[in-house]
Structure 1
Amino acid sequence: MSTLARARRGLGAHPFALDAALAAFVLVCMVAGSFTDPHGPDGATWGVRTPDPLSLVLMALGAAALVPRRRAPKAVLALTSGVSVVESVTGDPRAPVVMSAVIALYTVAATTDRPTTWRAGLLTMTVLTGAAMLSGPLPWYAQENLAVLAWTGIGATAGDAVRSRRAFVHAIRERAEKAERTREEEARRRVAEERLRIARDLHDVVAHHIALVNVQAGVAAHVMDKRPDQAKEALGHVRQASRSALDELRATVGLLRQSGDPEAPTEPAPGLHRLDELADTFRNAGLHVEVARADQGTTLPAAVDLAAYRVVQEALTNVQKHAGTGARAEVSVVRVGPDIEVTVLDDGADGTDRSDGSDGTTGPAPDAGGAGGGGHGLLGMRERVVAVRGTLTTAPRYGGGFRVHATLPVHATLPAHAILPVENRTDAAEGPV
């Protein structure tokens, strides 16, 4: 920090001391000016006149009034103007007491608004100049009288300019601080949204593949001794499911790498073009899955395509987890006007009740979040569908089973953010979004 900056900071921390020093300086200037005759034979001559005691008292009062000028600027202006008027009427020779009124007028202009400055400035100039011209010992057109008019105008103008500059600097500073806060909030919001999106993708990948691994591992353990060929086939499915899980995890976690990190292998995001492959993984795990498509080869936006794929993946995972491999599931993808409708039905073969109680029944909500329920499977489906401006319905079927129905727009106009805030989440088993 420079010496000048340190001095400004020190003076700003002690404004009363600064005003006291200013008052002393003004007093010295007024006293020195009262001993000078500007109309001497050789120009301004020092010591040819001496102020009377009343002038000295008025100068001291005018200077002392400047000490509290920051606390009560209008009162100080009134006091210094009154002292100047008294000096203009009684002083002979004239002492420059008006100097204190000019400083006070500057303070009022610098600390108030422009209308107040105009009113105070015009009133002060009129009163002081009129008193000097009408009551003083000099002719009304004397240079000293015109100087009163000029100096009061300069004081008001300078104070208004300082106030305007301070307001301008303050506005710029506020605008910069607001922009900085906005950038920080936007960065935090984007980080939170990205974390939620990655967490949702990780949940979808892990829930699906680990459920398959769990089922196939159980099959392998059951038939290991009696049917080793079937156990070997089940272990092959375990290996394939784990490899797929690792590939998708690598692609998702690769988004967390910094710009300077080595590039990791990635693959395109899954979509409905991999629907048959997805169904085969469940068929290999023992779940009977039928797929019917009437989407007429519609090409979907990447976000809508991924959302549709994840809805089917999560719904079939829930069927396998809650209804068992003995259940039958039906997947349909149909183009209906401007929308794609994705429906997953199951017959609930093991009789498990998977409603959330909204229809009067009880039982754990369907989810792939864990063996104990209470995960985020249906919640993730709901968020994905809403993020692309679609609707989702999840409800038990009459007579048993469960129904998941998603309506997704073919030409989705995505919002600026692709993830709902956490506080807007609701239980996905409540019905249509």
Structure 2
Amino acid sequence: MSTLERARCSLRAHPLALDAALAAGVLVCMVAGSFVVPRRENAVTWGVRVPDPLSLLLMLVGAAALALRRRNPKAVLALTGTVSVVECVTGDPRAPVAMSAVVALYTVASTTDRANAWRLGLLTMTVLTAAAVFAGPLPWYAQENLGVLAWTGIGATAGDAVRSRRAVVQAMRDRAERAERTREEEARRRVAEERLRIARDLHDVVAHHIALVNVQAGVAAHVMDKRPDQAKEALAHVREAGRSALNELRATVGLLRQCGDPEAPTEPAPGLDRLEDLLTTFRSAGLPVRAAGADGAGGLPAAVDLAAYRIVQEALTNVQKHAGPGAGAEVSVVRAGPDVEVTVLDDGLGRPGAPEAGGGHGLLGMRERVTALGGTLTTGPRPGGGFRVHAILPVQTVTAQGEPA
């Protein structure tokens, strides 16, 4: 911090001392001006005249009032205006007592609104000028009278200009603070959305593959002694599911560890074009899955395609985990006008101790995906037994600004 900045901070911390110093400076200027006699050719003469005691007293009162100009500016303006009028009427009209009224008028104009500033400025200008013109001993056209008119107008104008500049600077600071708060809120919102997206993706990947590993491991343990060939096949499925889970986890974690903008993934995100492969993994795990109407939903946007795939994946994972033995599932993905409808049905009776409908992170993740695209999700038990997941995804999603994505 420079010496000038330190001095400004010190003066702002002690406003009364600053006003006292200003009052002393104004008093010195008024007293010095009362000894000056103006001459032609831009020259002045000192010591020709001496102010009378009344003028010195009025100058002292006017300057002393300026020390309180911040506490009650209008009262200070009234007091300094009064002593200026008294000086114009009874004292030496050439004594610059009106200087204290000009400073007080500047203070009022710089601390109040524009309407009050101009109203008080015109009132002060009119009263002081009229007192000097009509009640003073000098002619109405004397330069001292014109000086009172000019200096009061300058004081009001300068004070209003300073007030306007302060208002502009404060408005700029407020806008900057609002912009900073908005940026911080936007950053926090994006971080929260990214955390939800990462948690959702990790849940989809881990839950699906771990469910398959659990089922195949159970099959291998059950048939290990009597049918070793089937046990080997189940262990092969376990190994394949584990490899797929590790690959997807490695890709997700790799994106998180990159600095700056992540690079493009080495393989495209899964979509409905890989739906048959997904159904095959569940069939190999012992879940009968039938696909109905899954061929008419091609050419979808990437976000809708990925959401539809993840909804089917999570719904079938829930069937595998909670529907119970002997349960079958049916998957339907159809294009219905401007929307894509994804339906997953199962006829299971449930496993003992299975979570109630609507619980867990899987259904929550599905609902978040659908809501992000502006669609609707309906889940719940079926009348004859089993569970139903039905999602409606708009093909042309809409952004928060109302524009097509």
TM class by smaller structure = over 0.9
How many residue pairs get aligned? The number is 402
Q: CA deviation at 1:322?
A: 0.9
Contact residue 93 and residue 138 of structure 2 kept, 8 A: no
- Given the two structures, how large is their TM-score scaled by the length of structure 2? 0.93
1:16-415 residue pairs with structure 2 within 5 A? 16-39=16-39, 43-92=43-92, 94-259=94-259, 266-296=266-296, 298-348=298-348, 350-352=349-351, 364-366=355-357, 374-415=359-400
- For residues 373-426 of structure 1, what are the alpha-carbon distances to aligned partners after superposition, in whole Å with 9 as ceiling and x for unaligned? x42111111121222222222121222211112222233335469xxxxxxxxx
The CA distance in 2 between the partners of 1:53 and 1:42, in whole Å, is: 28
Taking structure 1 as reference, are residues 410 and 146 closer, same or farther at Cα in structure 2, changes over 3 Å only? closer
Name the stretch that deviates more: 42-51 or 199-208. Answer: 42-51
- For residues 59-113 of structure 1, what are the alpha-carbon distances to aligned partners after superposition, in whole Å with 9 as ceiling and x for unaligned? 1100011011011111111100000010111113742111100100111111111
Q: What SS is found at the alignment partner of 2:67? A: coil
Structure 2 counterpart of 1:207, one-letter code: A
Q: CA deviation at 1:315?
A: 1.0
The CA distance in 2 between the partners of 1:404 and 1:396, in whole Å, is: 9
Q: CA deviation at 1:259?
A: 3.2
Contact residue 271 and residue 309 of structure 1 kept, 8 A: yes
Contact residue 292 and residue 332 of structure 1 kept, 8 A: yes
Q: What SS is found at the alignment partner of 1:364? A: coil
Q: What SS is found at the alignment partner of 1:412? A: coil
Q: What SS is found at the alignment partner of 1:65? A: helix
Structure 2 counterpart of 1:413, one-letter code: V
The CA distance in 2 between the partners of 1:280 and 1:99, in whole Å, is: 96
Taking structure 1 as reference, are residues 43 and 379 closer, same or farther at Cα in structure 2, changes over 3 Å only? closer
Identity %: 79
Contact residue 254 and residue 264 of structure 1 kept, 8 A: no
Taking structure 1 as reference, are residues 264 and 343 closer, same or farther at Cα in structure 2, changes over 3 Å only? closer
Taking structure 1 as reference, are residues 260 and 415 closer, same or farther at Cα in structure 2, changes over 3 Å only? closer
Contact residue 81 and residue 101 of structure 2 kept, 8 A: yes
Q: What SS is found at the alignment partner of 2:66? A: coil
Structure 1 counterpart of 2:356, one-letter code: A
Q: What 5-or-longer segments of structure 2 have no aligned partner?
A: none
Q: What SS is found at the alignment partner of 1:67? A: helix
- Given the two structures, how large is their TM-score scaled by the length of structure 1? 0.87
Taking structure 1 as reference, are residues 40 and 333 closer, same or farther at Cα in structure 2, changes over 3 Å only? closer
Q: What 5-or-longer segments of structure 1 have no aligned partner?
A: 355-362, 368-373, 418-433
The CA distance in 1 between the partners of 2:215 and 2:164, in whole Å, is: 76
Contact residue 288 and residue 325 of structure 1 kept, 8 A: no
Structure 2 counterpart of 1:15, one-letter code: P
